Amino acid sequence: MSSNLEQTEQRIKKVIADTLKVDESLVTKESTIADLGGDSLAALRILSALEQEFDISLSDEDARKIDSVPIAVEVIQSILVTQK
């Protein structure tokens, strides 16, 4: 994984952990928002926090895809690449 992807992943993990008020070590590639105790309202808060963290706007389609760290990394990296 490139350092850019690693940085994106770390930032996403921190946003999820901070939003759900869980230890960042619990946020793994395998865990979903639901696994970490998040519900649909928490998911919306996470999406909003991700938009702020990365200064992006998630489409409804992209927002519906994001339920885990790897998918969030994929979606956000895709948006960041197209913004350049």
What is the distance, to the nearest Å, from the Cα of residue 57 to the centroid of all Cα atoms in its chain?
13
Distance CA(2)–CA(23), nearest Å, equals: 25
Choosing from 18, 23, 35, 39, the catalytic residue is: 39
- Active-site residue flag, 60: no
The residues annotated with a catalytic role in the active site are: 39
